[in-house]
Each structure stands twice: as structure tokens, then as C-alpha cells.
Structure 1
């Protein structure tokens, strides 16, 4: 095709397109807004509400040709309006409403519009639970987080999402989630503690914390019944219940009864406490219980009813020992659930007489101020405790060692096995009338007597503590002449002290060891128990005993001191006599000494008196101008003879100077003095000593002319050396 031909074809195409567009405009005389054929309208509209507005040229006339369902819509000009209230709950989303509209214009073909109308849901309906109340039955002790039921609500507003909330008391149950009403167990439920739980379940078509203007809620009641399960064995009655974790047990103390030796009892045996009985530990199930012997019925003396549990005798018991039966209780339909207990049957020997009180009634007295466990007295003026006694004619002497005393239905007083009445707790003044029972523990036989206890105000049953008087003792030494007097005083004082500490307590020979014997006060005050001492009493007693012991030790020390001093004095006298005899076998001329003090040998102070008398004579018999040569013998510390030169020097010095004797405890080196130093510490003013003063010339002659005497003297000094050395050493 040439260029001209191509241009002609293009013109024809353009003309065709223009003509087609004109034709299309002529065909679409009207249309919907936006050209969308599907129209959405909310439910619950008002009548006459505009559903949509048609777009059309001037001169176009729209009309409804058909609609399904009919009579729902109409045209008002170009506005399509609703002639009724639309409801989403009766609208089928799969089948929209349909309206056909024809648009006509003179000179143009008619245009037909097919409109689809969809009704939109609005939250205008509350949720609903099918029943208003639900009942759930669950087992006890279900594990935590176990599901017990799923309960949902329905909402006519199909597009609404429901939210749930559970109100459960004590937090027994909870929902799995707020949009999932699956109910879960949140704690262990024990049938014995809780048997039913009532809860409220809420459903809401908006979130719980939502601020939506429109929100609807529905409620339902949920009742949960807890069922008992078979998880416990039988329980013997009576028993004490204990809980261990989630388990519960019931402990029975067993049963006890009596049978007579060689006698067969008729009917069921009487047991304590109560009859033999077991119940199902699961009281909500209450299974039937059966009974059987396990051990103890070796002699086949007894039988047990498998239904009631009654124990009866098949034959007499022929041995006097207690019989211990082991009984099992079990569920009849499930023997795996069982329990055991013991039945102790005491075999008693026949008794012809029961024990009886000596007196049918007794009367006692006690102060309301008395301490707990104080004894009841026989009378107001007596300190003797009241004692009740019982006899048993089955014994030749009436004494049954198997008796037990008890106060019936009263806890204020108790009775000891010996029959003394004790106050168990504080009571008010007044008279209490009690009943006492004496029981033979071997056969259970008993008898009763009455007891009237008068509780007196302000009278106690105690004696005052003993006061121990002690006196001070002077032990200061004065002179020897008072020694005997002091010893006598010490001995008498110690005796008086020991006498003052002695106390006498009179107890009844029939009183038990724990009985408290009372004695009246010497001062006229209240009485107190002599068997009870306070801490102050014990301290006073200890101090008194310590004083007595110290006094005894002082006495012993003084006696030892006097004996030792007496021996030392006689030893000095003996040494002086030996020395004189060694000089010349007797007295020497020129030797001046006085023996008057030795005439009283038995006087413990004669030695010191001798020294004093001798010095007095020396002082009175010697003139101041007269030279006296004095020789004082000192024991040497060695057997080696003294140096002659030193002796000569001392003799010449003694001949030229007056020698003054002095008693001292210290050595003095002054010229003209010679001291006698003693072991005992004495007063220098007394000047007591034993001094031998021979003539110096005689002594010189004896030393020069008599070798035998010198040898004897040396021997004497040597013999005396050890004793004197020990004395001097101890003095230093």
C-alpha cells in the first residue's frame, strides 16, 4: 500500500474511534458514583435514607425496573433511597440485594444499571450464653492447670470478637486466656475442705479495657462440684487426724480390754476407748468395711465378726499373760485399702473383794496461799499431811500393792501413790467437795470415798528458814600468858557456832520421801516447808560452815606453834647444860650464870623468863667501872677450828672493852657489842634470852692448858653445828 493509501486508512480509523466514543456516551446515560456497581450500606438505617446518587446528563430519566427482594428501595430523582430498615442479622452476605435501574433520553438508547447492595454489620446485639448456668463435676486433688471445661458465648453480631473474664473465689480456677474461656484448676481441691465452688463468667464484645462507645456484656453462673476419690484407707475410731503435704492420715492409739482367767465371757468384749470400729477415710465414698485377725490369736481363744468387728470368746483363756491381737480393717470391694490396729486383752485373776477406803469420807485443810504441789493437812492446827488409805480383803494383811488413787472429775487436786493429797493448781478459799476412787490395776475393781477440802485464806504451810548466828573471833597474839585463854575462847566460840547452826526437823515415819514436813515457827510467824530452802538459806549455811572450818584451822595452827616453840626452848636448855658439862663436868669458878629459871620445867614460858632474870642480875650485879670478860658461844658453820690469831685478837679486845649484851633481830658490827640472834621474832624490849657469861681468863686457861677440854669443846661445837646452822639459815 502506498503512502496515500496509508493516510486514508488512518483517517478512517480515527473517524471510527470518534464515532465509537460518541456511541458509548450515548449508551451510558447514567452511572453510579465512582462507577462502582456495589454499594455498601449500614444496617439499622432510617427509612428514606439515601443509599446512593446516580450520575446522569440533563434530560435523562432513571427508573427502577426490578429489585430483589422487592420493595426495599426506590428512586427519588436521581437518589436511590431505602424504604425499610435494613438488618444485617437477616441479610445473607453471599446474596447481596439487587436493584436494576433504566436511564432513558430522547434520541438515545436506554441505559440499564445493575446495582448490588450489601448491608454492613453494626454492633447492636449483646453476646449470649446458651444456658444461664453451667454445672461442672470434677474429682478432688486434680493437678494444677488441668482443664475442667470450655464455656463460650454467642454474639449475633457475627463480626464481633468476644472477650471473657472469670470471677473465681480464692483463686481456685482461672481462664487459659481472656479470649479463650478454657477453665483450668489453679489449686489442689480437697473434698474434706471444699465440696463446691460457684463462679461467674463474663463475655464482652469489646476488649475489657476498651473505650468503645458501644459495648455489650453477657454473664453466666458456673457451679463446680468437687467429688471425693478413693485415696484413703479405713480409719479406726477414735483417731487423731494429721496432715502431711496434701495427704491426711488418722492415727488410732489402739484398744484395751479385760478377760478373766479360765472364764469365758458371753457377748462382745468391752473395749476402751469404745467398741472396735473403722470407717472409710474417704467419707464422701463411705465404702463398706470388713474386719479380720492378723496375729495374736494363736490359741484360737477369740473370733471377730467380719462385718461389725465385735470380738467374742470361743473358749476360756488358760494363761495369765496379756494377749495382743492385731486387727485389720479393709474395704470389702478393694482389699488394697486397709489399716491395722492392736487390741490388748489383760488376763485378770478372779478377785472376791474390791479395794475399799479405810474411811468413807475424809476432810483436809490447805491455805489458798500455798504453792502448787503443797500437801493437804489433816487439820488447821496440825502440820501433819492428810493421807488416805485403802485395804483389800483379798490380801491377808489388807495391803494390795497394785492400787491406784485418783480424784474423779477434778483437776484442782491429785493423789500420790502413797495416798497424799496434792494441790495441782491455785484455788480460791472455800470448801471443795471431791470424790476419790481407788482402783485395783490388775482387775479394774474400784470403790469411792468423799473428800472435803477446806481452802483457808492467808494460812501457809511452811516453816521459816533457820538463822545462823556467828561471832567474830580475835586471833591477835599478845603475850604467851594469854595463849591458853585464847584457845579456850576459840574452842567455845566454835562450839557455840556449831550449836547455833544445828536445826532439828521432825518427820513422820510414815511420810514418803517426797513429803514435806512442816514445823511451827519459833517466832510465831508463818510456817514454811522444811524440805525447801531458798538460795539465801543455802548461802548462809555455806558461809557458816566456812567460818567453822577457818576457826578449826586457826586452832590447829596455834597448837602446832606452841608445841614447836616449847620444843625449841627445851632444846636450848639442853644445849646449855651439855656445854657446861663439857667445860669441866660441872660449874667453873668465874662463870656467872643463874639456874633459877630452870626449876619450872613444865612451864612453857620458863626459858624466856630465865633469859630475862639472868640479864637483870647481870645489869644489877656489875658495876659500870668493872670489866667483865664475856664469852658468848656461837655455833660454827664448819668443823675446821678457828684461827688462833683471830681468837687472840678477840680475847685481847674483850679484855680491854666492856661488853654490852643486846638482843636484836639484826647483826650489829659496832665495837663493844655482841648480839645473840634468835630464830623467833620477839620484841627486843623484852630482852628475853639464854646467855652464858663465863670468865674470859678461865676460858683462856682452859683453851691453853687443857687440850682435852678444847677437843671436847670442838666436838660439842661440831655436834651443835648442823642444828644451829639450820636455825640460822631459816632465820635469814
Structure 2
């Protein structure tokens, strides 16, 4: 029993010893703390539990300046930054006096936060790409385009954006997270020589995520031309971007003659260019000796490509020449065929494009003055002819003036051979002679020697048009007026014409003025007729009243302008009784008041009075039915002469009657016969 008791006591002591020792050591609330970077923490990280009589301090092995202890709490002394230090360590020492009793370690793990944008190692990158680069070739590797991000855990996403239109079809990125540039289509230097891209990188997959950072850089790709095409002989019959089917050249030469100048070929001279225009190497020309040129009849310029004759051809035949065009570096070449036909040149005559050339020159021009083109006075007159069958012989044509010693030919230009002191028009014949075929042709030259600067008379280059004037030397008597003289003559003739028109108008107005005013007036036509009652058989006035109805409107009511349609006459009234003539003429008619008849059916009696004029003739006044303050008056004049009517136009009547009669005016109512108007 005693042994078991000792064993049990020893076990209990062993169990109690650690707890007792642990109760004597310091401790912390947690040994691992997580914090986010870029945050300022003011709260304590951990709490420290100290036994009585012990103190806690930071060991020198702790992260420098990162922590501080206030009482029994541990605080963070700095703003954590993941990129600088991802883990902060605090070593705590619990002391009793100078003796370290216990040590505690606290780890502060800094959590990474996306707070840094990605950065490219360049802003603009220029890359040269050969034109013959194979498709699917990586043009720029990933290591040269990859961006850097200080946030270690960030995944970068890349996007290639085109700046040059159409460039996106040629290049692309290998992957969204792999920024290697790859060629997708063949390059063409003629279409794309420089292409620009914008390379964008983002540290988040989605654009709307917060936080998210981006960066951009510029890529410039310069396409370097490659030697891919042979020389092209121009013009091309059929052409594609990388293919040219050249046209074959052909020409003609005369037999028995050696042309001194290069042959003129159709469709143009022998000319080739490098098919790779970006390289544009110089082309060297040569003739393949065993192809149509066995006897070395022709030679070609190595630099110019001009085909010339080394000797003449005696008989008509056809030459098939093979021309080689080779690049200067001898890397590529091409060939074309030239057909030259030798023809009999006898009977080939030159031709002038115009039958008449017009020129002009100033008076007093000295010897050697160039004659100007009449159609373009600023340009010299040029006369030229051409051989219709052999254009190569045009350079062998010479010109001369045959029948006028005042002018001479200098090549294709016309010069004066003597001083021209007199104005006029000169004609000359110009003869063209083909020195190879001895063919001749002639044309007419018309030169006007003027005192004034020449003015254009036609389109430039046409010599002022054509004409049928025969050649015959100078015609000094054929003079022409200058522009100033013609202007002065026109002004004088215009003034004389104006004076003649004015004199004619004055004469017409003087002799026919009254008739013209009568015809042009628009006075109203009064409805009436000749009163035959007042006309006797011998032409004297008869004062018997005529059965007519007087007009119902007063003279003051007659409008200034009356319609062209005639007025409709009113039905006639019963004839008026004949009244005796007054004893003595009086210029004033009887008052209308005495004419009233209260017993009549109409209540009004018509009165007709007459008086003899002192000047001759009679005046009769007829009053209408309604006699009142405004009486209707019609003046009946006996036939008088035109002079009497003109003198009496302003003296007839008095009072209201006189006013009404004068308003009518004489000319519209003037009679040229022995009749009376109402």
C-alpha cells in the first residue's frame, strides 16, 4: 500500500509541475496576426499576459521600427507594405530583473492588395520586320513586351489595338496573358510600309473591377522590302500587285538608210523597273545575240535602253529581237521581245498637221527675232512635220522658207531675216524635206506685223487656225486697223447714230405731235351720234333737236381711264321740240330753273338753247331731264375749222356748264367733217 501511494504522489507532482511553471511564464493572446497593406492600424495587435514581478521588452531581432509595446499591448508602429516586407516579426522577452524568463514570437502577415499599376519597360518600341517573313512567325518575343507589376499575385491581361487601319489583320498576340507578337498574313511593302499598334495591359480580367489598373505602350512596325519580284518591262498589258505581263515592243525602219537617232517604238520606248519598288535597283539592258540580231544590226544602251541601228538594212525584212533587263546585283532578270520591220521608204512624204500657220511680230523687230504664235503670243511659233510611216525619220526633217527673204527657219522656229519697218501681213511658204527619204512637203505661213502687242486669235499650239490663203510673198498693201483705231471709229459712229436718232424724234414730234397725242390718249368714248336735225342740206347747222337720250352721268363722273369696251346706249327718248334762236348771242346759257314744268308727266322739261359765237359758228346747249345743281351739258358745235377749234378750246361755257365742257378737252372730240358730236 505504501509503494502505490508513493507512486501516485510522484505522478501527481509531475502533472502539477508544468502547470505551475506555465503559470510563472508570460504569454500573448495570439502569435499570428494578418493585416492589409497600406492601412494605418491604431488598435493593439496582441495582448501580453505577464506574471507578477516580470517585464516584457522587444528583442533586437524584431523587425526594426515596426512595433512598440505600451503596457501589456503590442502595437504596429508603421504602415505595412506588402511590396517592402510581407511578414513582420515581433520577438518578446519576459524578464525578471535582468534575467530572461520567457520569449514569445508574434508574426504579422501583410496581405497583398492591388495598389500598383503594371508598367511596360518602354513607351515606344520600333521593330523592323522583313517583307518575306513567314506567316505564324513570332515577330517580337514575350520577354520584350511583358509588363511588370509590383503586386506579386496580380495576373496581367494584354490587348493589341490597331492604330493603322487594317494592321490588326496582319498581326496578333499569341495569348491574352502571353504578349508575344505573331504574323498572321503575308506582308506587302507596297501596301503597308509602317504600322502602329497600341499595346494595353490590365491587372484585372474585367474592366469594371475596383481596384483595376492599366498601362499602355506603342509598337511601330517597319516593313523592310525584300527582293521578291524580277524587273518589269513597262507598260504592263496585265498587272496585279505582284505580277506584270509586259507588252511587246514593235517599230519600223526604212530600207537602205541608217537612222542616226534611237528607234521610236510602240507602245513606247524600252523601259523596265524593279518589281520590288521598295528596293528599286537599277536595270541593265542587253540584247540576246543569237535571237534575231546575229549580224549585230542593232545595239541597245545598257543604261538607257535606247535601241539604235549600227548599219542599214538593204531589203525589207522583220527582226525579232530579245531584250534582257537585269537587276544591278544580278539577282533577278526578265526578258521581252522587240519586233522591228524594215520597209521600203521610197515615196514616203512628210506631212504638216496644219495647212496654215499664223504668227505675229512687232514693227521694228530686228534680225533674229522669233515670230510669236498668234494663238498664244507668249510662245514662239513652231512649224513641224512628221513622216506618217516612219516616225523615226521625224528628226531627219529639215525646214526652210522658200519665197520670202524677210524670214528664215531655225529648226522648227521662225525668225526674222531682216528688220521689219512697215506694218502689214506677210505670207511665206515653208518647205519640209526628209533628208533620209528625200520626201518634201510645204505649208503656208501668215505673219502679221503689228504696232500693238499681239492678242490671241485661237487656241495655243494651233497656229491660229487654218486658211486657204495662197502663198505669194509679202502683201504690204493689205493693212489692218489697230485696236485703238477701231475703238475710236466705233465711238464716232455711235455718237453720229445717237444724234441722228435725236433729230428724227424732234422732227416727228414737231409735225405729228397733236395726232400722236390724240391717238395715244385713253379718254372715254361717249355714247352718241351725229344729230342730223341740226344739219341742213347745204351743210349749215340745223338746230332742230334730235331724238336722243342724253347721257345720265355728269362730266365730272367720267373716269380718267375707261375700259376698251364701248358703253351700252340707253333707249332714245321722245324728240324734243324745236326752240327759236335767241335774239342775241350770249356766252351764258339760260338758268336751268326756268326749264321746270310741274305739270308734265315727268316733271321736267328739256331745254335746248343755242347762241352764235363771236368767232364764227354756233354753240348749242342741251340740258338733261334732271335739272338741278349739277346740270348735264352737251355742247354741240357747228362745223368750224381746225384753227377755230383750237382757239375756242378754252373759252366755251361758264359756270358749271363751262367747267363740264372744258373737262372733255378738244382733241378727243374734234371733228374733221361737218358733223356735230354729243
TM norm structure 2: 0.48
Larger Rg belongs to? 1
